């Protein structure tokens, strides 16, 4: 049964298996994956170059100042306090996490896991730094959060390392017999 049949759509267009709707459904996650992957990869690398908060041009005072200002409006001030206890470690951890998540999303390696981690990171950004954006849709973190949630639910689409590995989890031992018969 084609995707268009499942959605109550139109019959397939001649010239392709399943038609245009099936092809669109198959490729739908690729643009989102590319956008989120490049965005997070760039954000992580940018923290170390071109005057980013952790480059040689700037120091962690920038991040501390930003967090101090955001603390008053944040719905989770304890999370801001946690970041302020060790801003350098938090900043480098965030940058490395963004780079790792960005690369994993781009190549499609454990895409759902990487997207879930990206969603958690975007949620933390939204609740701490961009919560006070008014109106709320001016903050960049909320759209990233929902983009990652969508990717975590739907998977990576075509051209993924996950697809090359198959659907078997590589981190679990393979059972030779069924648990339930």
Evaluate whether residue 98 is within a structural domain. yes
Number of structural domains the chain divides into: 1
The verdict on residue 124 lying in a domain is yes
pLDDT tens for each residue of 90-144: 888 889 999 999 999 999 999 999 999 999 999 998 888 887 777 777 788 889 9
**Which string of DSSP letters, residue by residue, matches 36-102?**
HHHHHHHHHHHTTSTT-TTSSS--THHHHHHHHHHHTT-S-HHHHHHHHHSHHHHHHHHHHHHHHHH
- 28-70 per-position pLDDT tens digit: 899 999 999 999 999 999 888 876 666 665 666 777 777 777 7
Residues sharing a CB contact under 8 Å with residue 11, sequence separation 6 or more, in sequence order: 4, 19
pLDDT bucket at 26, cuts 50 / 70 / 90: confident
**Which backbone phi and psi does 120 adopt, to 5 degrees?**
-65, -40
pLDDT of 170 higher than 60: no
* Amino acid 33: pLDDT: 95
Q: Please check whether residue 94 lies inside any domain of the structure.
A: yes
- pLDDT of the residue at 63: 72
Q: Is 107 contained in some domain?
A: yes
Q: Domain of 139? A: 30-155
Dump pLDDT digits (tens) for 71-92.
777 788 888 888 888 877 888 8
Within a domain: 134: yes
Asked if residue 77 is part of any domain, the answer here is yes
CA–CA separation, 80 and 31 (whole Å): 33
Q: What is the pTM of this model?
A: 0.75
* 176 inside domain: no
Measured CA to CA, the distance from residue 79 to residue 124 in angstroms comes to 8
19 located within any domain: no
Structure tokens at 90: 């938090």
- Listed in sequence order, the residues at least 6 apart from 24 whose beta carbon sits closer than 8 Å to its beta carbon are none
């Amino acid at each position: 049964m084609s995707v268009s049949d499942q959605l109550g759509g139109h019959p397939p267009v001649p010239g392709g298996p399943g038609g245009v709707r099936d092809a669109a459904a198959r490729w739908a996650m690729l643009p989102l994956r590319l956008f989120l992957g490049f965005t997070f990869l760039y954000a992580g690398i940018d923290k170390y170059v071109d005057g980013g908060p952790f480059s040689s041009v700037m120091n962690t005072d920038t991040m501390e100042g930003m967090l101090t200002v955001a603390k008053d409006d944040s719905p989770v001030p304890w999370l801001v306090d946690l970041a302020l206890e060790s801003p350098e470690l938090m900043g480098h951890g965030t940058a490395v996490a963004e780079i790792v998540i960005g690369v994993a999303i781009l190549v499609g390696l454990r895409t759902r896991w990487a997207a879930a981690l990206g969603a958690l990171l975007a949620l933390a950004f939204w609740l701490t730094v961009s919560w006070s954006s008014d109106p709320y849709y001016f903050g960049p973190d909320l759209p990233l959060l929902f983009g990652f949630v969508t990717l975590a639910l739907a998977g990576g689409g075509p051209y993924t390392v996950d697809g090359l590995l198959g659907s078997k989890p590589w981190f679990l031992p393979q059972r030779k017999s069924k648990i339930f018969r």
